[in-house]
């Protein structure tokens, strides 16, 4: 005889099975929803990370740009050709465009006192008796208006201390079209040099016997080879030369165009 197992209610079994299926379906839906949310959250995180990375990159790009080296201002003023920077200097006039040239060396006139009227004041030079030919040629050029409206194109403030003038082109290689010989050059000292004194005026040249129209004004004792004809002495205007030198060289260098533009407005003799 079999044991009694009781009666099976198939209706209750069916309801229970439906509830289990419904729960399983619900759980699957919840799982898929959670997966979608996680995926969306991941996308957001990636997007935020990208934006943040771009922002950080941009920030450092700006920082790197701003921290890049920049040009430091010059210790000496750089001025335009129309801006005076020295007390007593006026706006320099335009230099003349044409260059006066001569086919032969002119006959030297009697050396005379020469006054160079510049936009920074007058500088007067007395020719020396020891160099009459050189003084005579410079006097001739002054009387011929050769020096009128020409720049003083070079200032040197280290090693030697001179202001160089007399080149109408302003480039340092111009001249009157002729060359003449050195005259009564200074005597060298034991070291083979010569000290050009403050106030001396000597010829600039490019080698032996290549004198033309360029000369230099000495504002502080300068030791050089004795290769430059010493032909004059500044009798007035050294204070103006000092002021020009005090403004320094254009761009803060020690050799080059004067920071304070200087133009010989007119040269006269007497």
Q: Map out the domains of the chain as residue ranges.
A: 8-70, 114-269
- Mean of the per-residue pLDDT values for the chain? 80
Q: What is the pLDDT of residue 41?
A: 57
Question: What would you measure as the largest C-alpha separation in the chain, in angstroms?
Answer: 165
The residues pairing with 123 across neighbouring beta strands, listed in sequence order, are 116
* Homologous superfamily in CATH for domain 114-269: Cyclophilin-like (2.40.100.10)
**Token pair of 139, please?**
């006097």
Q: Which residues contact 141 (CB under 8 A, 6 or more apart)?
A: 147, 176, 213, 267
The residues pairing with 117 across neighbouring beta strands, listed in sequence order, are 122, 266
- Could you tell me where the beta strands, DSSP code E, fall in the chain? 114-118, 121-127, 150-151, 154-158, 160-165, 194-196, 200-203, 215-218, 222-224, 230-236, 255-256, 263-269
> How many CB atoms are closer than 10 A to CB 217?
26
pLDDT in tens, 166-203: 999 999 989 999 999 999 999 999 999 999 999 999 99
Q: Which residues contact 203 (CB under 8 A, 6 or more apart)?
A: 134, 182, 211, 214, 215, 228, 229, 231
pLDDT in tens, 10-55: 344 355 555 556 555 555 655 666 566 555 555 444 444 433 333 3
Q: Which residues contact 96 (CB under 8 A, 6 or more apart)?
A: 148, 149, 150, 168
Asked whether the beta carbons of 260 and 118 are under 8 A apart, the reply is no
Helices and strands per DSSP (H, E), number in the chain:
3, 12
Q: State the residue for tokens 């020096």.
A: 147
Q: State the residue for tokens 């290769």.
A: 227
For residue 161, the 8-state DSSP code is E
Residue 216 has pLDDT above 60, yes or no: yes
pTM tops 0.85: no
Distance of alpha carbon 241 from alpha carbon 161, whole angstroms: 11
Q: What are phi and psi of 239, to 5 degrees?
A: -65, -35
Residue 230 has pLDDT above 60, yes or no: yes
Side-chain-side CA neighbours of 64 within 13 Å: the count stands at: 6
**Token pair of 76, please?**
């000496």
pLDDT band for position 78 (cuts 50, 70, 90): very low
pLDDT in tens, 58-71: 322 222 222 222 22
């Amino acid at each position: 005889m079999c044991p009694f197992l009781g009666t099976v209610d198939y209706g209750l079994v069916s309801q229970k099975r439906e509830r289990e299926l419904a729960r399983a379906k619900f759980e699957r839906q919840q799982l898929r929803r959670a997966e979608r949310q996680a995926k969306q959250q991941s996308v957001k995180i990636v997007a935020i990370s990208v934006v943040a990375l771009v922002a950080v990159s941009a920030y450092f790009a700006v920082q790197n740009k701003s921290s890049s080296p920049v040009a430091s201002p010059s210790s000496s003023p750089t001025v335009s050709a129309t801006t005076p920077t020295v007390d007593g200097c006026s706006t320099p006039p335009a230099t003349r465009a044409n260059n006066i040239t001569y086919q032969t060396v002119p006959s030297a006139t009697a050396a005379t006192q020469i006054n160079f009227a510049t936009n920074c004041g007058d500088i007067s030079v007395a020719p020396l008796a020891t160099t009459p030919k050189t003084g005579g040629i410079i006097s001739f050029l002054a009387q011929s208006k050769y020096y009128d409206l020409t720049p003083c194109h070079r200032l040197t403030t280290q090693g030697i201390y001179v202001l160089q003038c007399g080149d109408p082109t302003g480039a340092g290689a111009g001249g009157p079209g002729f060359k003449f010989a050195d005259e009564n050059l200074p005597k060298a000292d034991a070291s083979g040099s010569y000290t050009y004194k403050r106030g001396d005026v000597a010829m600039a040249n490019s080698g032996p016997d290549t004198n033309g129209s360029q000369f230099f004004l000495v504002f502080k004792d300068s030791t050089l080879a004795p290769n430059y004809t010493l032909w004059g002495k500044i009798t007035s205007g050294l204070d103006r030369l000092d002021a020009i030198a005090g403004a320094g060289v254009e761009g803060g260098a020690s050799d080059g165009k004067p920071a304070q533009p200087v133009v010989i407005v007119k040269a006269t003799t007497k």
